[in-house]
Amino acid sequence: WNTKKLLYELRSRRDELEKLREEAISRLRSIHNRISLRRKEADAKAFVVQACSQKSGEFKALELAQFINEKYYELTGIKKQIGDDFIRSERSCHLDLRRWEAKSEANSQRPYFEGHERDDVVKHRNEFIGYFLAHKDYYYTITDGEISMWKIPIQNPHRILIFHDESTFRSGEVSPKRWFFGENTPFFSKGRGRSQMISDFLVQHPSGPFFEL
């Protein structure tokens, strides 16, 4: 009887230890899954921030769903089957964007690349150009005619104009609405297409090429 009782207690202890081991493994898996989910969410959020910072404004919740799908199969090693739904639906990704405080707003009324003709802008431009015309004898200028020559300033001190040249080339289309994330607001192109800009500085001095305002 004592031997049977001892065996029974040993089996009970073994079962308890096995149960504790399974609970510990389950907790570790749960912690690992939570950490993995946080990392995946951080990666997805970083993807959204980068996408919302692009000037094109073409980012949609569908792209986030595709990104999550790609990362899921990459991390798990599971082979995606034809016809499988997204791991996280486009609608759920839309809610994620809202939860992360991203906003879908009109793609306008932001700092832009190209000028416009408001009355105050025209007034300021006229004052700006008028100042240079009134002080032209202080600057290096070029002669009129077919053969341009440098004209040395006749007033002191001599002044040098530095001109920032921007050439803009449009392409593509601009979405009427776009996602914005926090303070990551890209510049806006006033035209209906995206633009590529080439920027350079020119110096109005005999050491550089001719240019005039």
Low-confidence ranges of the chain (pLDDT < 50): 113, 213
Burial class of residue 3 (count of CB atoms within 10 Å of its CB; 0-12, 13-18, 19+): exposed
| Residue keyed to tokens 């408001």 | 118
| The model's pTM | 0.40
Provide the pLDDT for residue 113: 47
Predicted confidence at residue 199, as pLDDT, reads 74
For the four alpha carbons of 172, 177, 179 and 185, in that order, the dihedral sign comes to: positive
> Domain ranges in the chain?
2-100, 119-204
